[in-house]
Amino acid sequence: MPSIKELAKRKEKFVSGHRLCPGCGAGVVARLVMLAIDKPVVVGCATGCLEVSSTIFPYTSWDTPFIHSAFENVAATISGVESAYKALKKQGKIDKDIVFVAFGGDGGTYDIGLQSLSGAAERGHRMLYVCYNNQAYMNTGIQRSSATPKGASTTTSPAGKVIPGKIQFSKDIMSIMIAHRIPYVAQTIPGRWNDIVNKVEKAINTDGFSFINVLSPCRLGWPHKPELAMEITRLAVDTCFWPLYEVIDGKYKLNYKPKEKKPITEWLKIQARFAHLLKPGNEHIVEEIQKEIDRRWEDLLRKCETS
Amino acid sequence: MPSAKVAKTGNEIFAEAMRQINPDVVAAYPITPATEIVQIFSQFVADGLVKTEYIAVESEHSAMSACIGASAAGARTMTGTSAQGLALMWEMLYIAAGLRLPIIMAVVNRALSAPINIHCDHSDTMGARDSGWIQIYSENVQEAYDNMIQAVRIAEHPEVKLPVMVTTDGFILSHCLEVVEILDDADVQRFVGEPPKRHTLLDFENPITIGALDLQDYYFEHRRQVAEAMNNCGRIIEQIASEYANLTGRKYEFFERYRLDDAEYAIVLIGSTAGTAKEVVDRLRVGGKKVGLLKIRVFRPFDYLKIREILKNIRVIGVMDRADGLNSFCGPLYTEICTALYESDNRPVLANFIYGLGGREVKESDIEQVFDELFKIDREGKKVNTKYIGVRE
Ligand SMILES: Cc1ncc(C[n+]2csc(CCOP(=O)(O)OP(=O)(O)O)c2C)c(N)n1
Ligand code: SF4
Ligand SMILES: [Mg+2]
């Protein structure tokens, strides 16, 4: 694993000039993922904030070959690119070792793109799929996705007089991907550069399909103070809302255990999407959220111990 | 020109042409009546007869998405589908064309649901007619083969760079055995050649961004370029047809004119019904009727000027559509023929006939009925509204 100094010296493949909001997590995720890959890499990106902000013609932030085709199909698109590479390599028309990375938002991953993701994972294409997960459809104006946490107010799960934001807990995409029995699945945050870089390195050195779920703050949709973007992801880890772990060939490994598990209110209170939950009368919802976080955390600890 | 005569169905011939073309990548999903194409082809892959990477995708949307990725990476890329499969690809069809990717697709024409039906009509590909794909329809299995081989060269031509769909009529051609002449593998390889150089995703000397966001300031220009490619590819389609004719002796044009030179009454249609219509034309000719047929082979691009030239001296024309427009007036082919003739000094009388939906059999008597209608229109000087042929009304 490279030191931060070494990383800083690497040639950037995701460069400045993009038009993501200041304080957006997606740019940090893209930059760190690309820095971690010290090989020729082809990138695919699903429609969403990252893609529309980084490729406004005639400009591009990608100093590496890049393709966007549509919203729900980045895994299938990169399946095609990777297969072309295999075919041309077999014929001796190409000799480089090339890495393939697909970026999808949570909408493009958990919802509309789930089928194409599942298909590509099952077929075992050699690619790294990175879900930059800002927990809603941000590009179209903060609509709920199945990754949106319970209680969050979005424009299609608004907190109202009778409904207090999103009713459901988020979909457990990690278990879904682990159930595909792919060789590498991990969850990380951009707020710990070494964790994400390490995981990307492992993923691209895995022979097969790998999946990394990255929490990616959205200063407009959560919303939070832009300068808190990285801090907020570390808080997600310390409240056990977003544990850092990996599953290598089916074996669970916890990468970080908070010394002191913080209450979920710490994470809720700095984001306006949860503001209504902290008002009198909604205590039971916060309690339910805390309970579900505890349950998922215990479940993860058990899996890490027994696998 | 070494060649062989073989007995093959439409699906078998598509698979055979694909084997001879030997593409780098095929991504496909089964659907009746096109299923056999992918089955036969995956056997070729399993037996090591082709160098192709075969992607057994989980849907047609992913089939076309994977084809887009593969083609953008520089691979010669092919697929095949029908009806619902083509409908599921719809979003990606426009993207394949807009990104100027020379993907080749075999489409076995089938009716669109609902009600669900697996038999032939042209509503599936007619629905994709404005997607930027070149469309070549086949009358018989021989044409399907010849169209497929030429399609590769057309799609990849540096002045074209558009995807091409080659179609056959579901079951009528896809499942019927016909004796056809095929080329030697080596001749096909020589004819299709190495794909011309394009900008691709695997070129790290020249990294490019494909599929960028185009706003008000660029989108229009890029779409205009797609239109320009479509406007200009007719010449290249003809060039490649004449090269192919040199190789095979089989010369193809945008249209087939059948006994049209002195015709006063003509039918215009697409696909396998042309065979039936030719029989009827011959019979009516024996009886002294000046009748003829215009078969449309290349529907996209549509050669309006040539159509005008060919049809301008006909008295009454029956346009037969194997798809409904559901526009409360006419079918899609009729619209095109009308457009072509509007600026003719001498405008023939036109009538539209919708026929054969969902595989409804088209008999010689149906074609006779259409000609009878044309004679009647001429006699009575009265135009008719769109008529449905062979349906219980
Ligand atoms: C088939 C289709 N449906 C809807 C859209 C509109 N759309 C574009 S991006 C997007 C949401 C993206 O959400 P996500 O994947 O979470 O990425 P984010 O913008 O949050 O980064 C939607 C709904 C589309 N482009 N294509
Ligand atoms: S809306 Fe959110 S996800 Fe999109 S660019 Fe802005 S901060 Fe990033
Ligand atoms: Mg999102």
The pLDDT of residue B383: 82
Kindly state the percentage of chain A with pLDDT values over 70: 100
Mutate to test the interface with A, among B29, B76, B78, B201 (most CBs of A within 10 A): B201
| Of B24, B59, B69, Cβ closest to residue A115 | B59
Q: Is the CB of A64 under 6 A from ligand 1?
A: no
Q: Are residues B328 and B366 in the same domain?
A: yes
Cα–Cα distance, B260 to B264 (Å, whole number): 8
B202 vs A76: CB contact, 8 Å cut-off?
A: no
Question: How close is the nearest chain A Cα to the Cα of B248, in Å?
Answer: 29
Give pLDDT tens digits for B129-149: 999 999 999 999 999 999 999
Question: How close is the nearest chain A Cα to the Cα of B15, in Å?
Answer: 19
Smallest CA-to-CA distance from A85 within A94, A73, A75 is with A94
Q: Are residues B282 and B152 in the same domain?
A: no
Cα–Cα distance, B383 to B209 (Å, whole number): 54
Task: Give the residue, out of A220, A225, A230, with the most ligand 2 atoms within 8 A of its beta carbon, to mutate for a pocket test.
Answer: A220
Q: What is the DSSP secondary structure assignment for residue A273, as one 8-state letter? A: G
pLDDT band for B384, please (50, 70, 90 cuts): confident
Nearest chain A residue (CA) to B50: A87
Kindly state the percentage of chain B with pLDDT values over 90: 98
- Residue ranges of domains in chain A, CATH in brackets: 4-306 (3.40.50.970)
DSSP per-residue string spanning A71-135:
SS-HHHHHHHHHHHHHHHHHTTS--S--EEEEEEEHIIIIITTHHHHHHHHHHT-SEEEEEEE-S
Q: Are residues B164 and B194 in the same domain?
A: yes
- The contacts found for A48-51 with CB under 8 angstroms, 24 or more apart, are A48/A104, A48/A105, A48/A107, A48/A108, A48/A137, A48/A138, A48/A139, A49/A20, A49/A24, A49/A105, A49/A134, A49/A138, A49/A139, A49/A218, A50/A20, A50/A26, A50/A103, A50/A105, A50/A132, A51/A103, A51/B213
Give pLDDT tens digits for A115-130: 999 999 999 999 999 9
Residue B125 pLDDT exceeds 70: yes
The pLDDT of residue B53: 98
Q: Is the CB of A110 under 6 A from ligand 1?
A: no
In terms of Cβ atoms closer than 10 Å to its own Cβ (0-12, 13-18, 19+), residue A22 is exposed
Distance A25 CA to ligand 1 centre (A): 17
pLDDT band for A275, please (50, 70, 90 cuts): very high
The residue from B207, B227, B248 where one domain ends is: B248
Mean pLDDT computed over B77-91: 98
pLDDT band for A225, please (50, 70, 90 cuts): very high
Crossing angle between the packed helical segments A114-123 and B60-72, to the nearest 10 degrees: 70
Which residues in chain A are contacts of B99 at CB distance < 8 A?
69
Residue A287 pLDDT exceeds 90: yes
Give pLDDT tens digits for A9-50: 999 999 999 999 999 999 999 999 999 999 999 999 999 999
- pTM for the whole structure: 0.98
Cβ-Cβ contacts under 8 Å between A and B: the total is 167
Residue A267 pLDDT exceeds 70: yes
Give pLDDT tens digits for B244-259: 999 999 999 999 999 9
Q: Are residues B261 and B385 in the same domain?
A: yes
Kindly state the percentage of chain A with pLDDT values over 90: 99
Crossing angle between the packed helical segments B364-380 and B273-286, to the nearest 10 degrees: 60
The residue from B248, B278, B295 where one domain ends is: B248
Structural domain span for residue B225: 3-248
Give pLDDT tens digits for B179-189: 999 999 999 99
Q: Are residues B340 and B224 in the same domain?
A: no
How high is the mean pLDDT of chain A?
A: 98
Q: Are residues B303 and B210 in the same domain?
A: no
The residue from B201, B229, B248 where one domain ends is: B248
The pLDDT of residue A215: 98
Q: Are residues B233 and B118 in the same domain?
A: yes
Q: Are residues B361 and B259 in the same domain?
A: yes
Give the pair of three-digit tokens for residue A234.
């570390």
**Domain count for chain B:** 2
Q: Could you give the C-alpha distances from B290 to A10, B259, B311, B372, B376, in angstroms and in order?
A: 78, 9, 14, 12, 14
Which residues in chain B are contacts of A116 at CB distance < 8 A?
58-59, 61-62, 65
Domain of B343, CATH number, reads 3.40.50.920
Residue B1 pLDDT exceeds 90: no
Give the pair of three-digit tokens for residue B231.
């406007």
Task: Give the residue, out of A73, A129, A139, A148, with the most ligand 1 atoms within 8 A of its beta carbon, to mutate for a pocket test.
Answer: A139
Give pLDDT tens digits for A80-113: 999 999 999 999 999 999 999 999 999 999 999 9
Question: How close is the nearest chain B Cα to the Cα of A170, in Å?
Answer: 25
Mean pLDDT computed over A252-256: 98
Q: Are residues B226 and B346 in the same domain?
A: no
Domain of B10, CATH number, reads 3.40.50.970
Smallest CA-to-CA distance from B244 within B153, B108, B371 is with B153
The pLDDT of residue B219: 98
pLDDT band for B196, please (50, 70, 90 cuts): very high
pLDDT band for B3, please (50, 70, 90 cuts): confident
Q: How many CA atoms lie within 13 A of B18 on its CB side?
A: 33
Q: Are residues B192 and B273 in the same domain?
A: no
Q: Are residues B379 and B309 in the same domain?
A: yes
Residue B300 pLDDT exceeds 90: yes
Q: Are residues B347 and B219 in the same domain?
A: no
